[in-house]
Amino acid sequence: MLSGLDHLVVTVTDMGRAVDFYSRVLGLEVRYRDAQRVDLLLGDMALRLHQTDTDIAPISATPTPGSLDLCLRCQLPLDEFIQHLDALAIEIELGPVARQGANGPIESLYLRDPDGNLLEVCRPAPR
């Protein structure tokens, strides 16, 4: 019946700060839909940013910055991604650690975006 995810809305307090983080730190391509909505391209889907003080409808019942817990797949080996984060002075909250992903064992690290959302960045676990 369903075949995948098209986009996921991330509620943010400061659009510019969020766009900078997701593009500079995570390397996502930015596509401006209009003054209130920005898509961050992620494979064949997007993270769609909505700022808290905008009038967009419909929205979730309680859109709350910092309430997201999201796992993103990384193309780079995690040690290279860690070097990238270190160069940008981005704090790693935990990891790398072994976890179970949707398609099997993964190796993950955890960081937070400017709104406090928990972002897990993963790679398939080494065999």
Residues annotated as catalytic (active site), given as ranges: 120
Rg (CA), the chain: 15
Q: What are phi and psi of 84, to 5 degrees?
A: -60, -50
Residue 63 near residue 52 (C-beta atoms within 8 A): yes
| 41 strand-pairing partners | 29, 46
Q: Are 65 and 52 in contact (CB under 8 A)?
A: yes
